[in-house]
Amino acid sequence: KGKYFVTFPYPYMNGRLHLGHTFSLSKCEFAVGYQRLKGKNCLFPFGLHCTGMPIKACADKLKREMELYGCPPEFPDEEEEEEENSARKDEEVIIKDKAKGKKSKAAAKTGSSKYQWGIMKSLGLSDEEVVNFSEAEHWLDYFPPLAVQDLKSMGLKGVGPQEYTLIKMKVLDPYPAKLSGLRGKNIFLVAATLRPETMFGQTNCWVRPDMKYIGFETVNGDIFICTQRAARNMSYQGFTKDNGVVPVVKELMGEEILGAALSAPLTSYRVVYALPMLTIKEDKGTGVVTSVPSDSPDDIAALRDLKKKQALRGKYSIRDEMVLPYEPVPIIEIPGYGNLCAPFICDELKIQSQNDREKLAEAKERVYLKAFYEGVMLVDGFKGQKVQDVKKRIQKMMVDNDEAMIYMEPEKQVLSRSADECVVALCDQWYLDYGEVDWKKQASECLKQLETFCEETRRNFEATLGWLQEHACSRTYGLGTRLPWDEQWLIESLSDSTIYMAYYTVAHLLQGGNLRGQGESPLGISITVKTKLADSYVKAMV
């Protein structure tokens, strides 16, 4: 018989299950039922997720609300609250989250109430019942049985950090007027790229004329120019003197740094310029985009627009010598696309301008993966080597030469339950070493034997194994299991969920059907033995 395994992101126990769970579960249930009818041995383990921060945070919030407003709380109306908030404002420069006030998944869960008490009442709980939820343990007794009930009646996604290479492009004399007051400081426009191997082909950088930027002081006294959102991420990654504090020294619009002369690392051009691009997004990267028209369809389309349209250059006071002498530089040979893949694909698809968004998306889809897997470097020092083999080496070389830094931000926008935009923070903690050589080798061997749905799926697995390195696995706040060898730390919820998938295949043999794990094991295995087995498994991963 064949085997078939299905897993599901276990529901978090801070509320009742909803239609979204039913929708996703139905897919798993259909797939495993179909495979079982075909005669396969099928396994569909299931569990409930109770660790992590949200439950503890909500319980603490209830405690604070009772301390401030009584029990049951009598909350101020909106006008009183606005006056109170206004009175608390001071002169400290604070970067505001652009996500505030926007409707989100988290906001949809909380309904119209901004207080935790109101959220709990919206679940049909009385004031007397809500009081009990100020203790985190109560959540674990209340919601899991209801979830089991819901699952029986039903018939029984995560975001990680994205690593960028932060390219430092130094502003040269003469400074733009808006930056003249910072003379004497090292000023850098910083661009986040996923393709450090293409920096040999830089011809300029892009900024959006109507976008707000800031200059902030880094821990070593340099000035970085980027968006407020990116600066906030950097402040939690050791870029600034105080964690989470962005010392803003200048606020400016993109149009005020257009035409700035820059020194960019690795490129053959001694000086490049900051030029206008109208399609830069504020919710990704730094708002500054390095331009490699030899290998980026977006870049060649925008550069051609500026070269062809004198009126566009004039509108932003861009002189001819800032644009016209700059041509794409061959840096990577790609089978079928030559050594200037971006111009080639743009000509083939008849892309006329940077506004041809659908065609540009198709162009990128066609060349980027092929460049990574089949591209061969043409530049000195790396000539003849595959892009995928030298990408990390080129990144390290630039970081070691102080031409770049490692920068991270969430793969996509993540909002907390209070509608705050989340950041990637660099913390002193324990990590799972997924980059360990022997582990990676074993994982690669397993992948070779794995049957995937299509070849693209296999390539995605291979790419993930390639970049996956250390993964933070601990935190000090929330619910969960203590690290056996360092009990000040809790195993964070995503990390222990990698163990759940294995544990729930045998949980019924260990817990005796008790959700809290306190039942007698049908196999007679004691809690001491279970703990030692779990400890050994976790230690092997760290």
| Cα distance between residue 463 and residue 158, in whole Å | 18
For 319-326, which contacts have Cβ atoms below 8 Å and span 24 or more sequence positions?
Answer: 319/259, 322/204, 322/259, 322/273, 322/275, 323/204, 323/273, 323/275, 326/203, 326/204, 326/269, 326/272
pLDDT at residue number 82: 53
Residue type, 86: S
In our burial notation (b when 16+ CB lie closer than 10 A, e otherwise), range 77-99 reads: eeeeeeeeeeeeeeeeeebebeb
Taking only the tens place, the pLDDT of each residue in 26-60 is 888 888 888 888 888 888 887 888 877 888 889 99
Characterize the bridge pairing of strands 272-276 and 204-207: parallel
Q: Give the span between the Cα atoms of 424 and 236, in whole angstroms.
A: 7
Enumerate residues 6+ apart whose C-beta is below 8 A from 197: 331, 332, 377, 382, 387, 390, 391, 394
Task: Look at residue 346 and tell me whether its pLDDT is greater than 80.
Answer: yes
Cis peptide before 174 (omega within 30 of 0): yes
Q: Are 143 and 135 in contact (CB under 8 A)?
A: no
Give the Cα separation of 417 and 338 in Å (integer). Answer: 49
Residue 246: pLDDT band (50, 70, 90) is very high
Give residue 382's identity as a one-letter amino acid code.
Answer: F
Q: What is the pLDDT of residue 257?
A: 95
Q: Range with the lowest mean pLDDT among 68-82, 304-318, 388-402?
A: 68-82
Instruction: Give the whole-number percent of the chain exceeding pLDDT 90.
Output: 44
Indicate whether 532 pLDDT > 80. Answer: no
The CATH class of the 164-407 domain is alpha beta
Chain mean position to CA 413: 7
Q: Which residues contact 476 (CB under 8 A, 6 or more apart)?
A: 488, 489, 490
Out of 193-197, 211-215, 535-539, least confident range: 535-539
User: Please, what is the Cα angle at 234 between 228 and 235, to 5 degrees?
Assistant: 90
Q: Of 495, 508, 448, whose CA–CA distance to 44 is shortest?
A: 508
CA dihedral 180, 181, 185, 187 (to 10 degrees): -50
pLDDT in tens, 113-158: 678 888 888 888 888 889 999 998 888 888 888 888 887 777 664 4
pLDDT value of residue 377: 96
- Helices 357-374 and 455-467: crossing angle in degrees, nearest 10, is 70
Residues 209, 255: contact at Cβ < 8 Å? yes
DSSP, residue by residue, 400-419: HTTSEEEEEEESS--B-TTS
Encoded tokens for 157: 């996604």
More confident residue, 252 or 528: 252
- Does residue 528 register a pLDDT over 70? no
Judged against a pLDDT cut of 70, whether residue 209 lies above it is answered with yes
CA separation, residue 74 to residues 65, 71, 115 (Å): 9, 8, 11
Candidate from 230-239, 319-328, 350-359 with smallest mean pLDDT: 350-359
Does 324 have pLDDT greater than 70? Answer: yes
Any idea what the Cα angle at residue 386 is, between residues 466 and 392, rounded to 5°? Answer: 45
Task: Mean pLDDT check: name the lowest of 221-235, 237-251, 277-291, 457-471.
Answer: 457-471
Nearest Cα neighbor of 477 from 130, 60, 14, 135 is: 60
Q: Note the pLDDT of residue 111.
A: 53
3-class SS at 190? strand
What's the pLDDT score for residue 420? 80
Place of tokens 């109560």: 138
Query: Does the pLDDT at position 311 exceed 60?
Result: yes
**pLDDT at 288 > cutoff 70:** yes
Q: What are the tens digits of pLDDT across the range 371-421?
A: 888 999 999 999 999 998 999 999 999 999 999 999 999 988 887 656 788
Structure tokens at 138: 């109560």
Percent of the residues in the chain that have a pLDDT greater than 70, as a whole number:
88
pLDDT tens-place string over residues 487-519: 888 887 777 766 666 777 788 888 877 777 777
Cα→Cα distances 239→178, 247, 420, 443, Å: 23, 11, 21, 34
Q: Which of 332, 83, 71, 306 is nearest to 201 (CA)?
A: 332
Alpha helix (H) residue ranges in 271-386: 297-308, 310-315, 341-348, 357-374
Rounded to whole angstroms, how far apart are CA atoms 277 and 286?
14
Please compute the mean of the pLDDT values over residues 233-238 and round it to a whole number: 95
Instruction: Round the average pLDDT of the chain to a whole number and report it.
Output: 85
Mean pLDDT lowest among 159-163, 225-229, 531-535? 531-535
85: pLDDT strictly greater than 60? no
In angstroms, rounded to a whole number, what is the distance separating the alpha carbons of residues 38 and 18? Answer: 31
What torsion, rounded to 10 degrees, do the Cα atoms 238, 239, 241, 245 define?
-90
Per-residue confidence (pLDDT) for residue 454, from 0 to 100: 87
CB distance 55 to 13 below 8 Å: yes
Domain boundaries, the chain: 1-76+111-158, 164-407, 434-467
